[in-house]
Amino acid sequence: MHNGKDEYCSVLEYAERLISELLSEPEVYFSRGYLNSEGWKKVGVVSKVLARRGLQIRKALAKIRSNPSYEVVTSMLQQIMAMLKIEAEKACSN
């Protein structure tokens, strides 16, 4: 069980790191106010990593797909990040 917990926590940390990159480097992942191909790749990886994390995350990812503007993407990624932090506190602390 401990190994599964470590793997789960590693997945959460990886997703948080990917989202942080997207949020901290808009010049790399956005062009003219919308996700560019590099941004879509990174969002795709986040989506795959978190595919089974819950309905709220899937809804946020669906909003990104339907409106990939900077405002929507950053808002949804911040919400996902907050959920991941809560989940990590519950699952990964002793």
* pLDDT tens column, 48-65: 888 866 657 888 889 999
The pTM (predicted TM-score) of the whole model is 0.86
Domain that holds residue 55: 2-92
Q: At what angle do helices 2-24 and 37-49 cross, to 10 degrees?
A: 160
Number of separate domains in the chain: 1
For residue 49, how many other CB atoms are within 10 A of its CB? 14
pLDDT for the residue 1: 44
Mean pLDDT in residue range 86-94: 84
Mean pLDDT in residue range 8-31: 94
User: What are the backbone dihedrals phi and psi of residue 27, each rounded to the nearest 5 degrees, phi first?
Assistant: -65, -25
